[in-house]
Amino acid sequence: MAYNGILSFGIAGLCALGVMGCAQFSRDGGFDEVARASRLQIGTEVRWARTPEERAKSDLQIADLLQHPLSVNDAVQIALLGNAALQASFQELGISEADLVQSGRLPNPGFTFRHAASGGVYDIEETLSVNVVALLSAPARHRMQERRFQETQQAVTLEVVQLAEHTREAYYTALAASESVRYREQVQAAAEAGAELARRMRAAGNWNRLDEAHERGFYDDASLNLERARLGETVARENLARLLALGSESANFRLVDRLPELPAALEQTPDFEKTALAGRIDLELMRARIDALAANLHLTRATRVIDVLEAGPTRIKQGPGSDPYETGYEVSLQIPLFDTGEARVRRAGAIYAKALEEFRQAAIDARTEVHAAYARYRASHAIALRERDEVLPLRQSISREDIKLYNASQLSVFDLLADARLQSAGVDDFIQSVRDFWIAKSALDAALIAPPLQPSAGEKSW
């Protein structure tokens, strides 16, 4: 066969294979699966703002939500639409899809040209070659990259779920802090009234300095506690604003007036083993990684001896310019003389075995995390119910009896004020208990589909 025929046939074959195996970018960049999984897991819309039009649509939706006091679902929706760190995570899909498309492209052929001449005698060599190993292993590498792309989708979905949990926790914390400030203001007002009355009593000569100091001390404590509560409210609102990605122009967002009412009954005990092992995104992510590592281990074993093999047609001229070209082919490969690939196989095998052990431990962790989250959920509900149904009614009953005694001149106004302070403080304790319950409820819902949140010092910088 003449060289031109071989060259034409090789190029045509490569082009045909290239058309058949040329991977293309998808319309949604893999985001539709993330959006579907997010709606299924948390029931809230998530949008990847890749264009100015999509960004404007999200901004308009956020602005509309900010027109009224935010519920917890409103806050989660704003975070999923506007949080810049989450939007940055979506770009991982673009990176992974680019790797996927690249893995579907056939390797480019190489062309080598050598020319030498002396006294009218020529030494010319032209070779067209392709990496045969890369060509034969391309389907396996593409399938492996498809698994990695799916792994990226699951990882991004996990970040969506965790951001939603962060936002719910921050919302309940900010709302409870706002309620706490209101009741601390009542305590401070009662203490201020007591301190002013004590000052007048001492000025009239009816009280000594020690009695006045006691009431003044109550007032100072109440004032300090109020300042701490206001600081806690400011910090909590700023943390929520950070998760919502609200700038200074939206810093005055409003929340509803009160935390949600406690549910009358708890949800039924979930099947911890089944739920933790079947529904957790992090375990699905590890399963996908194990599949990818298994494929990589198989590929490494298949190419352990020869991982570079190039072949292609060549033509050579050695002699006067009028002499014809000699046609043939050239094969180039590495000789496994020193490196037999054993180290690469051992490494891939160790990585795979490590992933299996990590998955086994992660499955145990998932089960215990769901158990612990459900225990906190039950305990926080019991505590909040007891404070609502027993502690607060008892203190209200004491307050009513105190008023009767005060009206009968059997109780001093200072004792009445002291009881009022205790009752208000009890209401504040109840607020914190209700907050703890809703945070525990959110944590339980998240624990069924994702690992629990880490302490603040190790949080992702949402």
What is the pLDDT at residue 72? 94
Share of residues in the chain with pLDDT > 70 (%): 75
Cα separations (Å) of 69 from 14, 254, 442? 63, 5, 20
Mean pLDDT lowest among 161-165, 186-190, 299-303: 299-303
* CA-angle at 321, arms to 315 and 324, nearest 5°: 45
- Widest distance between CA atoms in the chain: 133
- pLDDT bracket for residue 367 (50, 70, 90): confident
Q: pLDDT tens digits for 328-344?
A: 666 665 665 555 667 77
Measured in residues, the chain has a length of 462
Contact between 160 and 46 (Cβ < 8 Å) = yes
pLDDT at site 310? 60
C-alpha 139/C-alpha 143 separation (Å) is 6
Both tokens of 415, joined, read 């004792």
pLDDT at residue 9 in the model? 40
pLDDT digit string, tens, across residues 19-57: 445 567 778 788 888 888 888 888 888 989 888 898 999
Say yes or no to pLDDT of 131 above 90: no
Phi-psi region of 106 (alpha: psi -120 to 50; beta: other; left: phi over 0): beta
Residue with tokens 């072949």: 311
DSSP label of 388 = I
* Domain range summary for the chain, segments of one domain joined by +: 3-449
Residue 4's pLDDT band (cuts 50, 70, 90): very low
**What is the separation of C-alpha 83 from the centre of its chain, rounded to a whole number of angstroms?**
11
64-106 pLDDT, tens digit each: 999 999 999 999 999 999 898 999 989 988 888 888 888 777 7
Q: Is the dihedral of CA 24, 26, 30, 36 positive or negative?
A: negative
Give the span between the Cα atoms of 438 and 33, in whole angstroms: 29
Q: Report d(CA 327, CA 46) in Å as an integer.
A: 61
309 phi, psi to nearest 5 deg:
-145, 115
How far is C-alpha 275 from the chain's CA centre?
20
Architecture in CATH for domain 3-449? Up-down Bundle (1.20)
Q: CB-based burial of residue 312 (10 Å sphere; 0-12 exposed, 13-18 middle, 19+ buried)?
A: buried
Choose the weakest-confidence range: 34-38, 94-98, 255-259, 315-319. 315-319
28 against 276, higher pLDDT: 28
Edge-to-edge order in the sheet of strand 326-333: 110-118, 121-131, 309-320, 326-333
Q: How far lies 191's CA from each of 23, 24, 407, in Å?
A: 74, 72, 20
Nearest by Cα to 149 from 310, 247, 291, 270: 291
Output helix, strand, coil percentages for the chain, rounded to the nearest 5: 70, 10, 20
What is the rounded distance in angstroms from the CA atom of residue 369 to the CA atom of residue 375? 10
Identify the band that residue 143 occupies on the pLDDT scale cut at 50, 70 and 90: confident
Model-level pTM? 0.76
Q: Is the alpha carbon torsion for 435, 440, 441, 446 positive or negative?
A: positive
- Mean pLDDT across 277-303: 75
